[in-house]
Amino acid sequence: MTLVEILVVLAIMAIGAALVVPMVGGPGASTGDLKVAARQIAAGLRHARSEAIAQRRETLLTLDLEKKSFHVAQDAREIALPAKIELKLFTAQSDLVSERQGAIRFFPDGGSNGGRVTVASGERKYEVDVDWLTGRVAILD
């Protein structure tokens, strides 16, 4: 074998590996899916806060952990999240509708009952925090 033949075989193997590895990926969601889901939830929370301030009434963002979706109280649209992610909700006991559904409440002054939505897949996770005093929404790695 010559050196050229060995290099050609290695190049073919590298191309094959580059094509096969992404297709065989693990059962969990990709990091991109996690980021997208965290950003969608954060945008929904910010929308709910701005609605509460503009309409001068309490507004809820309701999260369905089983369907992996959410919606803002006065908005008919339900936003679906990637199916392979895991969701956890930490909120006030009074805003838990059931074991698989809960809400984060925003008040007319911009404040909130506070809470956290965790978007995870395996060891990777993003946390979307809502500050109870200011209603500020932040995404944490």
pLDDT tens-digit series, residues 80-90: 999 889 999 99
Q: What is the pLDDT of residues 22-62, one digit of tens each?
A: 665 556 678 889 999 999 999 999 999 999 999 999 999 99
End-to-end CA distance of the chain: 50
Q: Is 4 part of a structural domain of the chain?
A: no
Q: In this structure, is residue 52 part of a structural domain? A: yes
* Tens of pLDDT, residues 102-124: 999 999 999 999 999 999 998 89
Residue 67 counted as domain residue: yes
Burial 16-55 (b: 16+ CB within 10 A, else e): eeeeeeeeeeeebbbeebbbbbbebbbebbbbbbebbbee
Structural domain that includes position 50? 31-140
The pLDDT assigned to 1 comes to 67
Domain count for the chain, please give it: 1
- The CATH number given to whatever domain includes residue 120 is 3.55.40.10
In a domain, 9, yes or no: no
Share the mean pLDDT of the chain: 91
